[in-house]
Amino acid sequence: MGQKPEAVCGKVQSLGTHKHVFFAGRTDYVGA
């Protein structure tokens, strides 16, 4: 669980097989 509000700007990063959707300081886990 590493949230970076400084790098969070409505961007989608794919970590391994997990898709993290960052929203204004909010982290939503999409997929599995």
What pLDDT was estimated at residue 9? 47
pTM assigned to the model? 0.16
Structure tokens given for 23 = 């929203």
- Residues 6-30 pLDDT 10s: 555 455 555 555 566 655 556 565 5
The confidence score (pLDDT) of residue 32 equals: 41
Q: Which residues contact 23 (CB under 8 A, 6 or more apart)?
A: 8, 10
DSSP secondary structure string for all residues of 1-32: ----TTT-SS-EEEETTEEEEEETTEEEEE--
What does the domain layout of the chain look like in residue ranges? 1-32
